[in-house]
Amino acid sequence: MNLKKKKDQYELNLIKGGRSFYLTLIICLMVFLGAIAVLISAFDRLISRHDQQLSGEICTIMSEKMNSSIEFMTESAKSMASVLSAQDLDSLDDIYMTLKSYNKGEYLSIGFIDDSGEIYAEDAEKKEFEKWNLLNTAAQANPVSMSAPYRSSVYGQPVITMFADFAYGNYERHGYMFITYFLRDLQEVAVTQSLGNDVEIWLMNAGSANIIQCAGSDAHAIGSWTNAYLSMQNIDKSDIPTYSEWLDSVRRLEDNIGISYSIEGIYYSQYCSKISSMPGWYVVVRIPSNTLSATMNTFRNYVLVFLAVLLLVVIVLIANMYRLSKRESKMLTSLSIHDPLTGALNRRAFDLAAEQLLMKGHDSALIFFDIDYFKQVNDRFGHDAGDKLLVAFSDTLRNNFNKQGIISRFGGDEFVVLTEMGDMESVTDALKRCVREVHSIELNDNSKNNADFLISFSAGAARYPQDADNLSALKKCADTALYETKEKGRNGYLWFTDVFAGSEPEEITAVTDVLDVTDEPAERDNNTHTGVNAASYKPSSAADVTGNTVSHTMGQAPQTGRVVKKVVRKKVIKKVVKKTPSGK
Amino acid sequence: MNMKKIRAFVLSILLFAMTCLTACSKEAEEAAAAGPDIAHFKPLNEISEGNRNIYLIVRLMDSSYWQVIINGAMDAGNANGVNVYCGGTNIETDWQGQRILIEEALAAGADAIILAPNDSVELASDIEKIHDMGIPVVLVDTAANTSSFDICYMTDNLLAGQKAAEEMLAQLHNAGHTEDTGLSVGIMVGQSTSQTINERLAGFFQYWSNNAPDNWIISTDIMNCNGNIDLGGQLTTDFLKKHPDTAGLYGTNNGPTRALCRTVNEQERNDIIIVGFDFSDEIKSLIESPDFRASTMLQRQYDMSYRGITTAIDLLDRRQPDIKFEDTGVITVNNDTLTDPEVVEVLKHN
């Protein structure tokens, strides 16, 4: 239907509601996103708190594990020294050979220092003693001691050396056996598969605040030294006082101290414990809490992706549902405001739209139309033809008035048009075009049947605001004009202003050659029309209706009430031409 | 309509992502196309047919420090009758460039390679590869995280830091400070992430904690000039205002040492002792001045490469050294030692 292609602005005003849907959708979306943000934030806080507690506990366990590993190494040295003491060897060479026999490849080197300070080791190893003051470390063995890590000249890697006191020469003499390990052996002890390289382990000297890394994510840093006061510069400023207090307590050799701080937004837990075999030394373990969070963050990201997909699916579903709903709603709305046959507005919708149009205050015209002898069409050609006529008539009105007006089927064969009007001439012209087009309507394919039947209409027009300033009064005026048209023989139109202007239509076209007669139902709806017992007639020519300002009827309906044939129309025509008094 | 909008939205996101990916890959391609910034091998001495070919790969070509190393290799090549070729990178962290140079040396049929690795972890596998091929590989200046090399000649920076602390304590005593009077020493580093600097700092702290009087303290307010000498000067000025009892300043490397010297010189603070590294004009003028007490630690980088070449020749002659790491050590230069033959010899190469 044309109506579907061409949106009527007044009809659009009757079908509103899309905006509220989008607003609701946006609000729902924002609420959803807000809820997600709150959820994620709460999740993060929970995980962060949990991780901080857990990482502290892991640090404690790791430092104890590291300390136990060092203890194990020193216990090994102690046990070996005990065995050596039990052997109570006299010869220093025998002691050295015995010690060498202990080394099955587990140690980098093994040897001893006799009670005079003589070192029994490879020549290259002897140099290390002097270079790193290892004799001093040996003297601290009670019964064991451990050197600070140092870079071995022999192996080119950081190493540590354990010392253990032993007796020889009838238990009268004391010496120190030593075993050297790679520092990375400690690293291997400290590594846990579950935490990979995220756990950082250092040995820290309380006196100097020097730290050497044994394990960690940065392979460059393993085995290298730094100082805790320099490392402190990387810590977030707000945590520096706490860190400084922690350092002071370490330097005071306090026991088992934990701390937490942030570096560039990453939260770290750090814990240290004393190494019993290395006086003044601590094992320090640090773990970034985000290591633990990483797994949960992955889970959180999965949840986020799931929610995003869910949201997308919901949006698509809602959009589809809305589309369907809108289509249905539009259809229902259309059905509720349109006449289903012709697509013209129904009476209720017309009243609403007409009120809106008149509220603009523009000059307008309201025209009532009535198809002449419609009942005969139904009777003679069938109801399908009647329906076809109604549709064709509606289309004719739409073609001529729809640009600036609204069209309604008021009931049966009655139509009403309300159109904005620049002047009366334009409306009159439209009416003339309607007359011509309606006359040319063919009811069916049988040309013979069509040939003797002329379709016509009667119309009455009233002006707003000249004739009436409200819709109800305007309709009455137009109805009166229609009534007058019918009274004067139908097949024509009349302006209301001509009804009471004292200038009655001068003449109504006379018709002759009445071929058939039938009565049209006289009943009218409401009070808008008075029933007319119209007679069928032979119409005069429509071609004679030429004046722009003319309001006239095309044919006078004889009282006999018979159907008029076109062939007769062409034979006898009398014209009644009447000029409008005002020219409007 | 809604579906169209959603489709358009999704498509725009995809297009945006694709554009980003394309841009990223383009950048990567451009970076790859640009290639490493390396100086390819050139002979350091007159090439003689039949001589052994030893390839030296340094970390930074345009540097006075590395030029001394190149000179050492050249002199050793001339003295021992081997052909020495030298190549290197123009960025000190460009280990990929060094990997290319290693491949070039191997392809050219190097008899031995002297390498100063730009990355001790990334180049470990390349060093192992050379070693596994039976080609002697000698490291200079920097060690690597592997045992598969023949020997490494470098400064043990922990010991160098200790020696600096020893010199600081000696100079403080010489200046008349006694164990009864408290004093503090300030430290400036050139970087907080450099392993060399960290070890020099740790060595200093270590020696100090074991040997300094209890009321002689190191200020824990460590200055970091991040390689900027002007910033270092400003930091020194602020530090001296904040710590008026400062009796000594320690610079862990060349930049901080220069900054400390400049400020002390400008402010005529001849009551402050300076101990630093390298032999810049700033420290030299203070050492030579009778009004100031300044000392510097000089590395023996000339020895690193010279001995690297001779050891490579030994290795080619199947003489294996009994150690894998040799600390070439540092020499203390101050007003008293300036004319010592050993100092003069080291300074001759700087």
Nearest to B98 by CA among B69, B119, B112, B129: B119
Report the candidate in A333, A337, A331, A330 with the shortest Cα–Cα distance to residue A354. A337
With H, G, I as helix, E, B as strand and everything else as coil, classify residue A6.
Answer: coil
- Residue B84 falls inside a structural domain: yes
Task: Name the CATH code of domain A47-303 (choices 1.10.645.10, 3.30.450.20, 3.40.50.720, 3.50.50.60).
Answer: 3.30.450.20
Is residue B74 scored above 70 in pLDDT? yes
Which whole number is the average pLDDT over A218-226?
A: 78
Question: Is residue A539 scored above 70 in pLDDT?
Answer: no
**Does residue B314 lie in a domain region?**
yes
Contact between B333 and B164 under an 8 Å Cβ cutoff? The reply is no
Q: B244 preceded by cis ω (within 30°)?
A: no
Residue A315: its chain B contacts at CB < 8 A? 6
Q: What would the pLDDT profile of A460-490 be if each residue is shown by its tens digit? A: 999 999 999 899 999 999 999 999 888 888 8
Distance between CA atoms of A561 and A535, rounded to whole angstroms? 3
Q: Specify the pLDDT at position A287.
A: 83
Instruction: Mark yes or no for CB contact B209/A205 under 8 Å.
Output: yes
**A69-73, A149-153, A289-293, A463-467: range with lowest mean pLDDT:** A289-293
Mean pLDDT of chain A: 77
Residues B291 and B237 in one domain: yes
Q: Are residues B164 and B135 in the same domain?
A: no
Q: How many domains does chain B have?
A: 2
* B125 and B143 together in one domain: yes
Closest CB from A220, A230, A319 relative to B2? A319
Amino acid at A558: P
Q: What is the pLDDT of residue A403?
A: 78
What is the residue extent of each domain of chain A? 2-45+304-332, 47-303, 347-569
Report chain A residues whose CB lies below 8 A from the CB of B206.
148, 205, 208, 210
Q: Does residue B3 fall inside a structural domain?
A: no
Percent of chain B with pLDDT over 90: 78
Q: Is A142 on the interface with B (CB under 8 A)?
A: no
User: What is the pLDDT, as a whole number, of residue B296?
Assistant: 97
Structure confidence at residue B57 (pLDDT): 97
A276 pLDDT band (50/70/90 cuts)? confident
* Contacts A220 to B, Cβ<8 Å: 119-121, 145, 195
Task: Choose between B288 and A277: higher pLDDT.
Answer: B288
Residue predicted with more confidence, B248 or A107? B248
B120 touches chain A (CB under 8 A): yes
pLDDT (average), residues A498-513? 46
pLDDT digits (tens, 9 = 90+) for B231-246: 999 999 999 999 998 9
For residue A442, the model assigns a pLDDT of: 80
Work out the mean pLDDT of chain B and round it to a whole number.
90
Q: How confident is the model at residue A523 (pLDDT cuts 50, 70, 90)?
A: very low
User: Which residues of chain A lie closer than 8 angstroms to B121, CB-CB?
Assistant: 219-220
Please say whether the dihedral angle defined by the alpha carbons of residues B319, B322, B327 and B331, taken in this order, is positive or negative. Answer: negative
Q: Which of A124, A221, A227 sits opposite B201 (nearest CB)?
A: A227
Same fold, A47-303 and A347-569: no
How do residues A380-393 score in pLDDT, each as one tens digit? 888 888 898 999 99
Domain check: are B200 and B218 in the same one? yes
> Computed over its alpha carbons, how large is the radius of gyration of chain A?
55
Q: Half-sphere exposure of A82 toward its Cβ, with a 13 Å CA cutoff? A: 9
B3, B141, B209, B217, best to mutate vs chain A, most A CBs in 10 Å: B209
Quick one: how many helices (H) and strands (E) in chain A?
18, 18
Q: What is the mean pLDDT of residues A178-192?
A: 77
CA of A126: which chain B residue's CA is closest?
A: B323
Nearest CA in chain A to B10: A312
Reported as a pLDDT band with limits 50, 70 and 90, residue A369 is very high
For residue A224, list chain B residues with Cβ-Cβ distance below 8 A: 195, 198-199
The closest CB to that of A209, out of B152, B205, B323, belongs to: B205
C-alpha B136/C-alpha B130 separation (Å) is 7
**Check: complex ipTM more than 0.90:** no
> What pLDDT, in 10s, does the model give residues A104-136?
778 888 999 999 999 999 888 888 898 888 999
| Best-predicted range by mean pLDDT (A275-279, A553-557, B96-100) | B96-100
Using a CB–CB cutoff of 8 Å, tell me whether B226 touches chain A: no
Give me the mean pLDDT over the A179-194 stretch: 74
Q: What integer pLDDT is reported at residue B71 of this predicted model?
A: 96
Confidence band, pLDDT 50/70/90 cuts, at residue B21: very low
pLDDT range class, residue A501, cuts 50, 70, 90: low
Q: Which residue, among A21, A180, A227, would best test binding to B if mutated, counting the most B CBs under 10 Å from its CB?
A: A227
Q: What is the CATH number of the domain that holds B59?
A: 3.40.50.2300
CA dist., res. A370 & res. A479, Å (int): 10
So what's the pLDDT on residue B192? 84
Q: Looking at the predicted structure, is the pLDDT value of residue A157 above 50?
A: yes
Does residue B284 fall inside a structural domain? yes
* Yes or no, beta carbons of B206 and A208 under 8 Å apart: yes
Judge residue B281's burial from the number of C-beta atoms within 10 Å of its C-beta, 0-12 exposed, 13-18 middle, 19 or more buried: exposed
Each residue of A292-334: pLDDT tens digit?
A: 666 677 788 888 899 889 889 988 888 888 888 888 887 787 7
Q: How far is CA A129 from CA A80, A111, A124, A132, B157, in A?
A: 21, 12, 9, 6, 18
Residue A446 CA from chain centroid, whole number: 60
Sign of CA pseudo-dihedral A481, A483, A487, A488: positive
Whether B246 and B261 map to the same domain: the answer is yes
Q: How high is the pLDDT of residue B329?
A: 93
Establish if B43 belongs to a structural domain: yes
Residues B228 and B309 in one domain: no
In whole angstroms, what is the distance from residue A400 CA to residue A381 CA? 27
Q: Kindly state whether residue B266 falls inside one of the protein's structural domains.
A: yes
Q: What is the CA radius of gyration of chain B?
A: 25
Q: Are residues B289 and B168 in the same domain?
A: yes
Q: How much of chain A, in percent, has pLDDT values that exceed 90?
A: 22
SS3 assignment, position A455? coil
Summarize the confidence of residues B45-62 as an average pLDDT: 94
Q: Is B215 on the interface with A (CB under 8 A)?
A: no
Does one domain contain both B244 and B215?
yes
pLDDT at A459: 93
Mean local confidence (pLDDT), A61-84? 84
Task: Tell me which of B45 and A156 has the higher pLDDT.
Answer: B45
3-class DSSP string for A499-531: HCCCCCCCCCCCCCCCCCECCCCCCCCCCCCCC
Measured between CB atoms, does B122 come within 8 Å of chain A? no
What is residue A67's predicted lDDT score, i.e. its pLDDT? 79
DSSP assignments along B151-218, one per residue: EEEE--HHHHHHHHHHHHHHHHHHTT--TTS-EEEEEEES-SS-HHHHHHHHHHHHHHHHHS-TTEEE
Selected residue with higher pLDDT from B161 and A343: B161
In a domain, B210, yes or no: yes
Residue A384 pLDDT: 87
Sequential DSSP letters for B39-104: EEEEESS---TTS-EEEEEES-SS-HHHHHHHHHHHHHHHHHT-EEEEEEESSTT-HHHHHHHHHH
Banded pLDDT at A90 (limits 50, 70, 90): confident
Higher pLDDT, B218 or A27: B218
Asked if B62 and B42 sit in the same domain, the reply is: yes
Confidence of residue A537 (pLDDT cuts 50, 70, 90): very low
Chain A contact present for B214, CB below 8 A:
no
Instruction: Provide the pLDDT for residue A380.
Output: 82
> Which chain B residues have a beta carbon less than 8 Å from that of A183?
none
> A207 and B210 in contact by Cβ < 8 A?
yes
The span from the CA of B335 to the CA of B344, in Å, is: 12
- pLDDT bin (cut points 50, 70, 90) of residue B156 is very high
Residue A422: CB atoms within 10 A of its CB come to 10
The answer to whether B77 and B307 have CB atoms below 8 angstroms apart is no
pTM (whole model) above 0.80: no
Bridge partners of B37, per DSSP, are none
pLDDT attached to residue A22? 78
Tell the residue number behind the tokens 């600097």, with chain if given: B197
Residue B32 has pLDDT above 90, yes or no: no
Q: B4-15: per-residue pLDDT in tens?
A: 565 566 555 555
Q: How many CB pairs under 8 A join A and B?
A: 106
pLDDT at A3: 41
Kindly state the tokens that stand for A50.
């949990």
CB-based contacts of B311: which residues, under 8 Å, 6+ apart?
A: B136, B138, B150, B151, B153, B321
Domain that holds residue B51: 38-155+301-319
Structure tokens at A567: 């062939």
Give domain A347-569's CATH number out of 3.40.50.720, 3.40.50.970, 3.30.70.270, 2.40.30.170: 3.30.70.270
Beta strands across the sheet bearing A364-371: A405-411, A414-420, A364-371, A457-464, A492-495, A552-553
| pLDDT, position B170 | 97
Q: How far is residue A354's CA from residue A370's CA, in Å, rounded to a whole number?
A: 19
Q: Residue B165 domain-assigned?
A: yes
